[in-house]
Structure 1
Amino acid sequence: MDINTLRSVSTVMSFFIFIGLIWWAFRPANAAQFQEASMLPFALDEMPVGDTQTSAEGQQR
């Protein structure tokens, strides 16, 4: 097995992995899961802010 055969095999394997990832990402069965994950950054705004927050130095405010 020479280096060109190894390059060809790795290229074909990478192509199939890429196609598999695209298929997984655009499956209708995953739409609800991705919709929920897309709202995670906004979920932090709903958390109550207490008076025990700490600053970057670790001291209480």
Structure 2
Amino acid sequence: MDINDVRGLGTIFALIAFLGIIAWAYSSSRKTRFEDDADMIFKDEQIAQRTSDAEREKND
């Protein structure tokens, strides 16, 4: 077994790991969690808007 065999095995391992991560990320069981995470920034803006609206009403 020489260095080229080790490099080949390393490449195969990296490919399997990459495909595993892709399968994990695109699995249907994780879809709702990732969609919620993607909408998080909009939820933060809505909370900030409600807070500022409440402060304006309090000051009026």
Please, what TM-score do these two structures have when normalized by structure 1?
0.69
Taking the aligned partners of 2:26 and 2:44, their CA distance within structure 1 comes to: 27
Aligned to 2:13: 13
Verify: 1:22 aligned to 2:19, yes or no.
no
Aligned to 2:41: 41
Runs of 4+ in 1 over 6 A off after TM superposition: none
> Once the two structures are aligned, what percentage of the paired residues are identical?
26
Q: State how far apart, in whole Å, the 1-side matches of 2:12 and 2:43 are.
A: 41
Aligned-residue Cα RMSD (Å) equals: 1.6
Aligned length: 50
Q: Unaligned 5+ residue runs, structure 1?
A: 51-61
Higher helix share: 2
* Whole-angstrom distance in 1 between the partners of 2:32 and 2:16: 25
- Taking structure 2 as the reference length, the TM-score comes to 0.70
Q: Which has the higher contact order (CA 8 A, sep 6+)?
A: 1
